[in-house]
Amino acid sequence: MLIDFNFSGKNIVVVGGGNECYKKLLKFISEQPKIKVFSKSFSAGIKRLSREGKVELVNFEVCNVDNFIKSLNPKPDLVIAATDNPALNAELAAKSKVYGCIVYAVDNPQLSDFKLPALAEVGDFKIAISTGGKSPAMARVLRKRVEELITEEDLLKIRLQLEVRGMLKKIFPDQKTRRRIIYDILHDGKISGFLKVGCFDEALAEAFRVIEGHKSKVIKSNG
């Protein structure tokens, strides 16, 4: 089961400062959480994130895991164990769970509370691809294929739906009615034709006409 956690504004503690840690951090940065990275050394990528103000670096070596977890204030929402020491990662994961933290261990899916799937991202599209940890390499291959399938028309349809949703909520209180109208708009041949050639304003105007048509039907049926 794939779940999209919302880490916006959450406190994330990362132990480890290598390249693997950097790659995992990139999956969280866009949500703008508060990230502290604890390590005695940091990769070039992590240092760049620090210069950009996206993470806070703490020069620290974890020797006593229990004392380290207890000392964290505020208590982190998520602890990422990303050192090159499997035993340390396992202990960090176990102790963090005792203190009620969500845990992700980069080298141990069994100890982690969730998996980080390959994420295909094109514009506002985010599609998670997971092989259940069986083949991360194949997940990356499939991610690239999915990204190639998403068209500019698809992206414009997302934008179009966002534009009309507010208007629909003001006119139609029933969610099922709004959903049906959105489907009509997204599958309208004339609107799709405009979007295929990048004519968004024309497509939006046509979508408003579709909405007005539905509004007129409601008025007639109530009259």
Q: Are residues 189 and 92 in the same domain?
A: no
Q: Are residues 94 and 121 in the same domain?
A: no
pLDDT at 114: 86
CATH number of residue 130's parent domain: 3.30.160
Domain membership flag for residue 222: no
User: 175-186 vs 152-171: helix axis angle to the nearest 10?
Assistant: 150
E strand or H helix that includes residue 126 = strand 125-129
How are beta strands 118-122 and 125-129 bridged, if at all?
antiparallel
Structure tokens that stand for 117 in this block: 């799937």
Domain membership flag for residue 4: no
Q: Are residues 164 and 79 in the same domain?
A: no
Q: Which residue has the tokens 């949703």?
A: 165
Q: How much of the chain is helix, strand and coil, in % rounded to 5? A: 50, 15, 35
Q: Are residues 24 and 108 in the same domain?
A: yes
pLDDT at 27: 86
Q: Tell me the pLDDT tens digit for each residue of 36-62.
A: 999 999 999 999 999 999 999 999 999
pLDDT at 1: 57
Domain membership flag for residue 221: no
- Structural domain tally of the chain? 3
| Cβ(86)–Cβ(65) below 8 Å | no
Q: Are residues 123 and 167 in the same domain?
A: no
Q: Let me know how long the chain is.
A: 223
Q: Within 13 Å and on the Cβ side, how many CA atoms surround 219?
A: 7
Q: Are residues 31 and 93 in the same domain?
A: yes
Picking from 101, 129, 150, the residue at the C-terminal end of a domain is: 150
- Angle at CA of residue 204, ends 182 and 173, nearest 5°: 40
Q: Are residues 137 and 172 in the same domain?
A: no
**Predicted TM-score of the model (pTM):** 0.66
Q: Are residues 101 and 111 in the same domain?
A: yes
Q: Are residues 87 and 15 in the same domain?
A: yes
* Residues of the chain falling short of pLDDT 50: none
pLDDT at 183: 92
CATH number of residue 39's parent domain: 3.40.50.720
pLDDT at 88: 96
Domain assignment of residue 199, given as a range: 152-214
Domain membership flag for residue 223: no
Domain membership flag for residue 37: yes
